[in-house]
A and B are shown apart, each in its own frame.
Chain A
Amino acid sequence: GAGVSQTPSNKVTEKGKYVELRCDPISGHTALYWYRQSLGQGPEFLIYFQGTGAADDSGLPNDRFFAVRPEGSVSTLKIQRTERGDSAVYLCASSWDVPPPGELFFGEGSRLTVL
C-alpha cells in the first residue's frame, strides 16, 4: 500500500527487555515524526527527522529511548530496559519536507504493552 506502515502492530514484552519499533514512511516523504499516545491522551511528540538527521529530539523522555533513520527513509524507535510506564501506542507520521509544516500522514501505530 501507499500509506505509512508500522511494525509490529502489537508488541507484548516484559519489564527490562529491549524493543524495536519500525516505521516505513510514504515514498518521497523526507520528514518523519514519532509520537506516543497513551489511553485518553493526544499524541505526545517524541522526535522529528528531516532526512537522516534528527531535527528535534526534545520529546524523548530519557536516554532509554533512541531513534534512527540511517538512509532517510525507514526509521526505527528503540527502547531499552522497558518499563511498565512505556506502555502506549507509538505512532509514526511522515510528510513532505517543505515549509510550512505539511499534512502529517499517520500509520496505525504499534501498541506496546510492558508486563
Chain B
Amino acid sequence: QKEVEQDPGPLSVPEGAIVSLNCTYSNSAFQYFMWYRQYSRKGPELLMYTYSSGNKEDGRFTAQVDKSSKYISLFIRDSQPSDSATYLCAMSARNRDDKIIFGKGTRLHILP
C-alpha cells in the first residue's frame, strides 16, 4: 500500500459547481497536510496548509483533515475554468528531517 493514495481522475465538473478532492494515507505519523495546484508544464504551488485535524478556509477553498480516518479533503466552491489544473495532496510527519510525500494528483477540468 502506498503511503498516500489519490484518485488521478480526470474529474470534469461544470463552472460554478462545488468540487471535492480527497486523499487517504496510511502513516499515522503524518501531522502536516498540504494541497498544491499544478498547471501544465509548471511546478506545483502551495494552495492550503493545515496542521493536525480540523478545517481551514481560504476564500473559495476549504481544507479538511480527519486524522482518525486518515482522510483529507479539499473543497472548491464556485469553481472557475481557471481552477482547471492538477491538485496534489502532500503530507509530512512532525520531525525536522521528515520529507514531504505527495499523492499522485487529481486532474480537474472545469467546463465553462
Chain B associates with chain A: yes
| Cross-chain contact of B43 among A41, A48, A91 (Cβ < 8 A) | A91
| Cross-chain contact of A100 among B44, B51, B101 (Cβ < 8 A) | B51
Binds A, one of B56-64, B75-83, B91-99: B91-99
| B8-A40 in contact (CB<8A) | yes
In the complex, the chain B residue whose C-beta lies closest to that of A100 is B32
Known contacts A50-B97, A56-B97, A101-B98: A42-B46 contact under CB 8 Å: no
| CB proximity to A under 8 Å, residues B86-112 | 88, 90, 92, 94-105
* A-side interface size class: 20 to 34
| CB proximity to B under 8 Å, residues A69-113 | 91, 93, 99-101, 103-104, 106-109
| A108-B104 in contact (CB<8A) | no
Q: What is the bound-complex CA distance between A109 and B88, given in angstroms?
A: 16
- Cβ of B73 within 8 Å of any chain A Cβ, yes or no, is no
Q: Which residues of B contact A42 (CB under 8 A)?
A: 4, 6, 88, 102-105
| CB proximity to A under 8 Å, residues B22-48 | 31-32, 34, 36, 41-46
| A43-B44 in contact (CB<8A) | yes
| B43-A93 in contact (CB<8A) | yes
In the complex, the chain B residue whose C-beta lies closest to that of A109 is B43
In the complex, the chain A residue whose C-beta lies closest to that of B100 is A101
| B46-A103 in contact (CB<8A) | yes
- Cβ of A4 within 8 Å of any chain B Cβ, yes or no, is yes
- Cβ of A66 within 8 Å of any chain B Cβ, yes or no, is no
User: Can you list 28 contacts pairing A with B, beta carbon distance less than 8 Å?
Assistant: A4-B43, A33-B100, A40-B104, A41-B105, A42-B4, A42-B6, A42-B102, A42-B104, A43-B88, A45-B99, A56-B97, A56-B98, A56-B99, A58-B99, A91-B44, A100-B31, A100-B32, A100-B94, A101-B32, A101-B92, A101-B98, A104-B44, A104-B46, A104-B90, A106-B45, A108-B41, A108-B42, A108-B43
- Give chain A's interface residues, CB within 8 Å of chain B: 4, 33, 35, 40-45, 48, 50, 55-56, 58-59, 91, 93, 99-101, 103-104, 106-109
- Give chain B's interface residues, CB within 8 Å of chain A: 4, 6, 8, 31-32, 34, 36, 41-46, 49, 51, 88, 90, 92, 94-105
